Amino acid sequence: MKRKKSVKRMLVLLLAALTIGLVGCSNGNTKGNESGGASPSATSTDPASNSPSNDELVELSLFVDHSWYPTKDWSGAIPEEITKRTGVKLNITVATDEKQLPLMIASGDLPDLVFTSNQIVRMSDSKLSLAWDDLIAQYAPDFVVDDERKKLNTANDGKIYTVLGAYSTPEEWAQYPLATDMGPGMMVRKDIMDKMGNPPLNTLEDFKNVLARVKSEYKDQIPLVMNPAGWIRTYFASQFGAANDGLVEKDGQLVHFLRQPELLETYKYMNSLYREGLITAENFAYKNEDQAKQLALSGKAFAYEWTTNGAETFNAQIKANGGDYSYTQLVNQLNDQAAIYKNSAGWSGTFITKNNKNPEKSIKLMQFLFSEEGDRLAKWGIEGEHWNWNEQGFPEMTYDKLNPEVQNELGIYWWANLVGKAVNEGLFYYTPGTQTAAAEVDQAKIKAYNPYISKVKPDPDSKEQVILTNVGDMLENQEAKVYLAKTEEECIAAYNEMVKTAEDMGLADYEKWANEKYNEVKSN
């Protein structure tokens, strides 16, 4: 999922004990009980919940560096409750494209807060952002973050400018075993599968055969539509056991994901889908995910590649729109080599810029949203009104939690990404007996975690960053040639040409630097 991709984990915050540094061991977490986790209380003992009420309302500007972000403003019962408890109201601007924030950085025209994943290294700069550890020491000395997150979020200058969300420690996952973790997924039309007699879907060849039948027998259907917002390739890469981006460890050495033999197999398979008319060239030209989603929500897509919670998310929308069909999530893996590399220490981070008009309110807002009380309020709603704790170890919602219209009306879930834990997101999605839970339980078997690879990040404008940027731009421009090749031989040749171009750009030098940096990270 860079996606998260899925959605998917939380924004974290740090704290300094009454000394200069941050203190380890986050508070407010109770030990899990025998039923799978203690009930979180609305009257939490977190410092954030015991802070004095805010007499003065402060409005802060927030730039969301994700053009696809579904929630566009600070409205609804949940943002109103957060404002009531913190004295902060956010004025939201959602990016129009990925070039907008770099232009703002270059001009110095930054808002109070920036929420980004693409510009984390650049924003982790004392010229642009205020260090959280300094703000915590000055304004919120009782704001505590665990040692693991401190290690994973320290910038190259030794300061911490954000703590990435959508991450949880092994201890947090162990505390709530029913928390599921969203990943890449595939869904198919249940009604059409029934009409075809539910042919087998146990292998990648089975999947292609089913798509071919749909193409032959259901002329009004596009056999497969892929979500373009960072998800194209993710599902099939996982089925072939390929890392989808970044660096991956092979035999103790880091290599760029482009070099993986498993990635070439992914490309070859996807190219075969195109050559057989099972995916369209237009799918690779979509500028945002709404173009792809509308094909599914209007009944034109048989299969849809997105996330493990995709079927139930779409089904809620289809039902609300009066549709008479539904999707089934594929639960089992389609290849013995399937693997998912979880090399991230989180997803996006919230930065408090040097233009910020009220750093004290800003860091205290982060503290509140990082607390169990604040994270669960933003993700789940108000206890007793929007959710109740099930003794088996998960929250039961009183609303249609997967319906985007309901989410937007309440202002629920999405603003928790500013600072939240992956485990609470996982508990949000858990529903006993659902397709989502079944898919994610099965997918957990193939996940390999190494968040310390995420520490291997070059400095902005460094030689290594220039190489990485150039390779990324090259992939964006040339990858379509691999997918849309007329023959498998041309597909392989287009892939080899990408590797050669990356080599000419200095990929080997980047990997040499990455391994030297990785050895430093491991020694620390």
- Between CA 401 and CA 56 the distance in angstroms is 33
In a domain, 47, yes or no: no
Q: How many CB atoms lie within 10 A of CB 309?
A: 26
User: Over the stretch 109-132, which tens digit does the pLDDT of each residue have?
Assistant: 999 999 999 899 899 999 999 999
Residues 168 and 127 in one domain: yes
Mean pLDDT, the chain, whole residue set: 88
> What is the structure's pLDDT at 7?
38
Share of the chain above pLDDT 70, in %: 90
> What is the structure's pLDDT at 493?
98
End-of-domain residue from the set 293, 316, 342: 342
What is the CATH classification number for the domain harbouring 67?
A: 3.40.190.10
Residues 235 and 320 in one domain: yes
Residues 144 and 262 in one domain: no
Listed range (70-79, 201-210, 227-236) with the worst mean pLDDT:
227-236
Residues 113 and 169 in one domain: yes
In a domain, 359, yes or no: yes
Residues 209 and 266 in one domain: yes
Listed range (129-133, 259-263, 451-455, 470-474) with the worst mean pLDDT:
451-455
Short-list 157, 171, 149, 156, CA closest to 14: 149
User: Over the stretch 384-427, which tens digit does the pLDDT of each residue have?
Assistant: 999 999 999 999 999 999 888 999 999 999 999 998 999 999 89
* E strands present in 280-410: 301-307, 327-329, 340-342, 349-352, 387-390, 394-397
Residues 320 and 231 in one domain: yes
In a domain, 111, yes or no: yes
User: Over the stretch 331-351, which tens digit does the pLDDT of each residue have?
Assistant: 999 999 999 998 888 989 999
Residues 136 and 239 in one domain: no
Listed range (2-11, 72-81, 170-179, 180-189) with the worst mean pLDDT:
2-11
- What mean pLDDT comes out for the span 290-310? 95
> What is the structure's pLDDT at 174?
84
Residues 169 and 209 in one domain: no
In a domain, 153, yes or no: yes
> What is the structure's pLDDT at 55?
65
Does the structure show a pLDDT above 80 at 90? yes
Residues 199 and 264 in one domain: yes
Residues 391 and 425 in one domain: yes
Residues 192 and 327 in one domain: yes
Short-list 155, 87, 113, 10, CA closest to 454: 155
Residues 408 and 365 in one domain: yes
Short-list 502, 477, 482, CA closest to 494: 482
In a domain, 253, yes or no: no
- What mean pLDDT comes out for the span 221-226? 98
> What is the structure's pLDDT at 522?
81
Quote the pTM value: 0.71
Number of domains in the chain: 3
> What is the phi/psi pair of residue 170, to 5°?
-55, -35
Q: How many CB atoms lie within 10 A of CB 487?
A: 10
- What mean pLDDT comes out for the span 273-287? 95
The range of the structural domain enclosing residue 439 comes to 52-177+346-443
Does the structure show a pLDDT above 60 at 36? no
